[in-house]
Structure 1
Amino acid sequence: MDLATVVPPYVAKPLELLPFRAVMLSPSRVGDPASARALARPYRDVAARLLQWIDRGDARSDTSPALYLHEYTSGGLTVRGLVGALRVSERADTLADRAVWPHEAIHPEQAGELADRMRQMDLNPAPILLVHHGGQELREVVDRIAGAEPDWRYLDRAGQRQRLWAVRDEQVVATIGELISRSQCLLADGHHRYAAYLRLQEEHPGTPWDAGLAMLVDQDDTPLFLGAIHRTLPRVGLDVLVQAARDAGAEVTARSRQRALDALDSTHLVLTDGETWYAVAPLGLDREAAVSWLHDHVLPRLPVPPPRLEHHHTVDEALGATSPAAPAVLLPSPDFDQVRALVESGGLLPEKATSFQPKPSLGVIMRPVHDG
């Protein structure tokens, strides 16, 4: 079982989002799976390919650098955040100095592949997602921007409603910069891309690779939904998994399907092979995330480790992959403040421990690294 174990470095304060000149796919292309070919191999041709798309109207390049306020609505949830080029050129020496807090480990080889891909494309194709508790003054600035007519507004091919404002006024940009400078942000999505940003910066210091595309969301304003990522364990018997949970000190109770699913909350996990169901109540989940308990206390007690873990973002998806040859572990949704407290005390969650949703459609906003 190949587990991620490397923690990417921490970017130092002050948190900085720098203006850049965005490239955007046209509304008819955003959310269209076929548009991924614009960002496909050979990656060295992506920059030229995007210029061709701009020439024929399938993409556009903004007129001048800006910070962007991006608001998107998906499945009844609206998220908005500030999008800019995150400065990654300084590393933190102490906990208090950290501006960006990863909460999962990464695979260095995967980060390296992403770095190579972005270098060849000369492009950050999508923002990483950062979340923080923004202050009232920042929310008032964001509200004023959002109160004006958006520069772009459309419904994309995936059903997301997009609104974007380009923020070019130097005084407003400076005010935003001052208000976010002291922020500490949780890295919600994009751990491997974040690690790729840092690798590219180390390889090309003093260049535009000193920054990488990021979206900063205020979790007190338009919060991302924090969901669980469930697991199936190929070639692990349910009885063996149940015994490992009991050996880890949990109370494991056989239930009907419905009663087991009803028990899935902050204090319980569910184990099933699709036919037999168990509710699992570990000790100490008030101090430890359920996914950490699974990885730290249960999986090491299996007599033979599973060859791999399969990850699923919904219960239905996990149950669709469940069988006697691949039992499921259904996990409760983590709590945002619990995750933040864990990482700010120096802790870490296992890989694919959280699912921050919804994510913006690909192609809404991209950053050419060497603009022009």
Structure 2
Amino acid sequence: MDSHTVVPPPYIAGPLRLEPFRALRLVPARIGDPSTGRAFARPYKDVANRLSRWQGRGLLVRDEEPALYLHEYSSAGISVRGIVGALDVSTRATRPEDRAVLPHEGIHPAQADDLADRMAEMQLNPAPILLVHRATDAARTALAGVAAQPPDHQFTDRSEQQHRIWAIRDRDLLRLIAGELATSRALIADGHHRYAAYLRLQRRRPGGPCDRGLAMLVDQGDTPLFLGAIHRSLVGTSLDDLRVAVESVGMSYGERDRNEAVAALASTQLAATDGRRWATVGLETGDRAAVEVLHAHIVPALPHGPSAVGFHHSVDEALAQATPGKVTAVLMPAPSFDLVRAIAEADRLLPEKATSFQPKPSLGVFIRSLRDEDDAPS
């Protein structure tokens, strides 16, 4: 298969289950430190032993009793709170309506294979994937009660993220959470390829710790992640090329000054520039996101290019690429969470790098060892 091929990841079947596990956690001085990522670098087969040495030096702590964890982290004025646990990936869904986890982007199979190989060599899940859902009132009330108690751990990491962590081991509360999650569906916010890697590992090694993968489930109705746009730069495409494509598919194109074009940016309106001229593109979206319309209709209609598509998390990054006659920057609106979820519920996938859920937790707050063969609850 071509390494550039993008395919839907497999689906896991409900009920949605997050199970207790024994958490590994770096000490605060190591969390958020740029050098921490090197602990998970090649050779991957040495990572587990490397972390064992860190544990011996007091740089890594391990909980002896399994738990679910309520994790709250704050960054840039945004606080996010969610449940961290071992996501059951052991059962595949054969019908869209049976899905417990909803991807909204495709994956590169080779990249998922590589990640699965790394996890197998490291013998751990190095960080949770991020899932979002809307919790039931009962689950929200129960977790609010947990958060009202003093946390088991509270610290600020090296990147200035603030963290509060509560271990949940009470059996009645665990049963309540399990019952409330069972009917829920979660959208993948970050970690599509790691999710696909979990499923590959499970196929290779069923019946053990690979039946689960580390995940954090955030209640988007309580402490929502910020959903931002990812802008585009179309290499080898001029602004005139864009106009021809837009008009050929029956949508509207109009040149504006910069302030007008940027102010017009909306769910049905794009702004584009070559660094000298500016324009707006009016879209017919219906139940689709603007990024779907751009890639499904406008990009294929371009008379030249793009020879490459650049992805940019900030407007300034996108505008820095704009070059008259050579590169057109396209500023994208951010889709709403409800629209992204509706697209995933309809069994559609957005184009690559269509969403940016922020902020993400620092690396090292939660690690799950695959050497813990009995990390499932008894």
| TM-score w.r.t. length of structure 2 | 0.95
Q: Deviations over 1:181-202 (max 9, x none)?
A: 1101111111000010011101
Q: Distance in 2 between matches of 1:30 and 1:307?
A: 39
Q: Distance in 1 between matches of 2:247 and 2:139?
A: 48
Q: What's 2:308 paired with? A: 308
Q: Deviations over 1:275-316 (max 9, x none)?
A: 111111112x24210000011001111234423211111112
3-state SS, counterpart of residue 262 of structure 2: helix
Q: What's 1:51 paired with? A: 52
3-state SS, counterpart of residue 235 of structure 2: coil
Report the CA distance between 1:346 and its aligned residue: 1.8
2:155 maps to amino acid: Y
Q: What's 2:288 paired with? A: 288
Q: Distance in 2 between matches of 1:321 and 1:304?
A: 17
Q: Can you give the 5+ residue segments of structure 1 that lack an aligned partner in the other structure? A: none
Q: What's 2:87 paired with? A: 86
Contact 1:47 1:122 in 2 (8 A): yes
Q: What's 1:116 paired with? A: 117
Q: 1:4 to 1:340 in 2, by over 3 A?
A: farther
3-state SS, counterpart of residue 233 of structure 1: strand
Q: What's 2:274 paired with? A: 273
Q: What's 1:103 paired with? A: 104
Report the CA distance between 1:229 and its aligned residue: 0.8
Q: Distance in 2 between matches of 1:353 and 1:69?
A: 28
Q: Distance in 2 between matches of 1:2 and 1:231?
A: 22
Contact 2:13 2:98 in 1 (8 A): yes
Q: Distance in 1 between matches of 2:70 and 2:343?
A: 29
Q: Deviations over 1:258-277 (max 9, x none)?
A: 11111111121111112111
Q: What's 2:376 paired with? A: none
Q: What's 1:338 paired with? A: 339
Contact 1:242 1:271 in 2 (8 A): no
Q: Distance in 2 between matches of 1:353 and 1:339?
A: 10
Q: Which runs of 4+ in 1 moved over 6 A?
A: none
Q: What's 2:246 paired with? A: 245
Report the CA distance between 1:3 and its aligned residue: 5.6
Contact 1:28 1:156 in 2 (8 A): yes
Report the CA distance between 1:247 and its aligned residue: 1.6
Contact 1:4 1:105 in 2 (8 A): no
Across the two proteins, how many residue pairs are aligned to each other?
371
1:293 maps to amino acid: V
Contact 2:126 2:367 in 1 (8 A): yes
Identity %: 54
Q: What's 1:145 paired with? A: 146
3-state SS, counterpart of residue 356 of structure 1: strand
How is 1:162-201 mapped onto 2 (pairs within 5 angstroms)? 162-201=163-202
Report the CA distance between 1:320 and its aligned residue: 2.3
Report the CA distance between 1:93 and its aligned residue: 1.9
3-state SS, counterpart of residue 64 of structure 1: coil
Contact 2:241 2:304 in 1 (8 A): no
1:320 correspondence with 2:349: no
CA RMSD of aligned residues (A): 1.4
